[in-house]
């Protein structure tokens, strides 16, 4: 098997309403999509979703990075994923969203060639995983109304975005707990928005509302701050923005800075490195969650395959667009589906995507071939 051709596209999908987190306000999904074809007639799809504030990548930087990587992929055997991942790291540092697109497309292609869905090729731990539903920062009344409506869709876990104003955050968490009752699990995500002192203050007040865990209470690079907050509160701490690569996981573990790690393909550079993070965490008895960035359902499908494949992934934050409410879906048929609070990857080969809405793709903006 040899990689023959790589096509690069752009996709732009508006959200039904802005999605607000502590560090950003998002109004659209703006991704780079790649299609890799081999010499046997197999293809694979991949997505790079830039989130400049977290990843330091933009659409333009992803296109430039693919310009560095793609020519070296032509002629390579896609089955040699470890070799390809190492090669990408040798060619260019970081740029993990761009690398994730390549990693995802190669996994999809190899899965299709071998006739197996990725969740089974990568480990096959389970056939579905429970997902939470994420609610962005919005006025309390609006948040409660949205949650009560969406709980009817089958969600049993809510992830509330916080981190802008600690007092308002405490009020919102209280109102949501009172509205949903004791059965629904609540997680919160501060997206680096609090100082150490604000985090300790807010989380001590919130403890009585039975919070499952708090994601990224303080800044990504403040690892000792995470350890400080974790020591001071009873709610478990999950790192998200602090851990991109396997090396980051080691640091968080050795500094006792977290209870859980949130793995995302755009931070890890794809499925291959995500597995390494999950393995490192497992060896430290640290369960993981799998989440997503501002991505189309193509990349979320890849994350669902990963989350279901690996035993040490205990939590899912993969609601397939219920939170972001994109005006369009890129996957028209196949991929993954949502049912009764769970997401289920397809049993079709690779990512299981049967049909893409290719009319949404702009381009190809670049083509690489032999």
Point out the residues that are catalytic: 161, 264
- Best CA proximity match to 343, nearest among 295, 293, 312, 309: 309
- Best CA proximity match to 98, nearest among 265, 242, 225: 265
**264: its two tokens:** 């995302």
The DSSP secondary-structure symbol of 207 reads G
**351: its two tokens:** 């990512």
Instruction: Give whichever of 109 and 206 is closer to Mg ion, judged by the CB atom.
Output: 206
Instruction: Give whichever of 136 and 352 is closer to Mg ion, judged by the CB atom.
Output: 136
Cα–Cα dist 344/305, whole Å: 8
Among 169, 215, 295, 297, binds Mg ion (CB under 5 A): 215
Paired strand residues for 44 = 36
Q: In what order do the strands lie in the sheet with 43-48?
A: 43-48, 24-38, 3-21, 362-369
Min dist CB 185 to Mg ion, Å, is 16
Stretch in the footprint of Mg ion (CB under 5 A) among 146-154, 215-223, 252-260, 295-303: 215-223
Min dist CB 66 to Mg ion, Å, is 26
Stretch in the footprint of Mg ion (CB under 5 A) among 182-190, 203-211, 219-227, 349-357: 182-190
Stretch in the footprint of Mg ion (CB under 5 A) among 139-147, 169-177, 188-196, 318-326: 188-196
- Best CA proximity match to 130, nearest among 105, 108, 155, 106: 155
Min dist CB 76 to Mg ion, Å, is 34
Min dist CB 127 to Mg ion, Å, is 26
Instruction: Give whichever of 113 and 188 is closer to Mg ion, judged by the CB atom.
Output: 188
Three-state secondary-structure class, residue 290: strand
Tell me: does residue 295 bind Mg ion (CB under 5 A): no
Tell me: does residue 319 bind Mg ion (CB under 5 A): no
Instruction: Give whichever of 151 and 290 is closer to Mg ion, judged by the CB atom.
Output: 290
Q: Which of residues 220-259 bind Mg ion (CB under 5 A)?
A: 240
The answer to whether the beta carbons of residues 13 and 29 sit under 8 Å apart is yes
Q: Which of residues 72-131 bind Mg ion (CB under 5 A)?
A: none
Buried b (16+ CB within 10 A) or exposed e, 126-139: eebbbbbbbbbbbe
CA distances (Å), origin 9, targets 34, 48, 61, 62, 358:
6, 10, 14, 11, 10
Tell me: does residue 189 bind Mg ion (CB under 5 A): yes
Stretch in the footprint of Mg ion (CB under 5 A) among 149-157, 212-220, 322-330, 338-346: 212-220
Min dist CB 137 to Mg ion, Å, is 13
- Interface with Mg ion (CB under 5 A), residue total 3
CA distances (Å), origin 241, targets 130, 193, 228:
22, 11, 17
The alpha helices in the chain, defined as continuous H runs, are 52-55, 59-73, 81-91, 96-114, 118-121, 140-151, 166-180, 196-206, 223-232, 246-254, 265-268, 271-283, 297-309
Find how far residue 250's CA is from the centre of its chain.
20
Min dist CB 189 to Mg ion, Å, is 4
Instruction: Give whichever of 240 and 295 is closer to Mg ion, judged by the CB atom.
Output: 240
Min dist CB 55 to Mg ion, Å, is 13
Instruction: Give whichever of 198 and 346 is closer to Mg ion, judged by the CB atom.
Output: 198
Instruction: Give whichever of 38 and 240 is closer to Mg ion, judged by the CB atom.
Output: 240
Q: Which of residues 15-54 bind Mg ion (CB under 5 A)?
A: none
Which residue number places its CB atom closest to Mg ion?
240
Residue ranges in contact with Mg ion by CB under 5 A: 189, 215, 240
């Amino acid at each position: 098997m040899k990689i023959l051709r790589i096509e690069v596209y752009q996709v732009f999908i508006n959200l039904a309403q802005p999605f607000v987190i502590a560090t950003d306000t998002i109004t659209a999904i703006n991704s780079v999509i790649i299609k890799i074809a081999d010499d046997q007639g197999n293809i694979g799809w991949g997505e790079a979703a830039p989130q400049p504030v977290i990843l330091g990548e933009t659409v333009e930087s992803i296109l430039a990075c693919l310009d560095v990587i793609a020519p070296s992929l032509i002629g390579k055997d896609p089955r040699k994923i470890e070799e390809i991942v190492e090669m990408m790291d040798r060619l260019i540092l970081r740029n993990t969203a761009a690398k994730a697109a390549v990693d995802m497309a190669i996994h999809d292609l190899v899965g299709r060639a071998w006739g197996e869905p990725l969740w089974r090729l990568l480990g096959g731990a389970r056939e579905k995983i429970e997902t939470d539903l994420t609610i962005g920062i919005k006025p309390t009344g609006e948040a409660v109304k949205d949650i009560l409506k969406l709980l009817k869709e089958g969600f049993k876990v809510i992830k509330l975005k916080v981190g802008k104003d600690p007092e308002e955050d405490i009020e919102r968490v209280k109102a949501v707990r009172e509205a949903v009752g004791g059965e629904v699990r609540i997680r919160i995500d501060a997206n680096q928005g609090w100082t150490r002192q604000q985090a300790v203050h807010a989380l001590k007040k919130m403890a009585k509302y039975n919070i499952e865990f708090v994601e990224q209470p303080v800044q990504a690079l403040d690892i000792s701050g995470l350890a400080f907050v974790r020591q001071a509160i009873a709610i478990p701490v999950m790192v998200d923005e602090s851990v991109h690569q396997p090396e980051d996981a080691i640091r968080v573990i050795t500094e006792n800075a977290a209870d859980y790690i949130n793995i995302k393909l755009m931070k890890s550079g794809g499925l291959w490195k995500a597995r390494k993070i999950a393995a490192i965490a497992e060896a430290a008895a640290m369960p993981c969650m799998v989440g997503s960035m501002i991505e189309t359902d193509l990349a979320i499908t890849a994350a669902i395959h990963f989350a279901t494949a690996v035993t040490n992934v205990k939590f899912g934050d993969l609601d397939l667009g219920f939170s972001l409410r994109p005006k369009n879906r890129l996957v028209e048929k196949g991929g993954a589906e949502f049912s009764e609070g769970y997401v289920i990857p397809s049993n079709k080969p690779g990512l299981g995507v049967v049909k893409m809405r290719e009319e949404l793709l702009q381009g190809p903006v670049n083509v690489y071939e032999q």
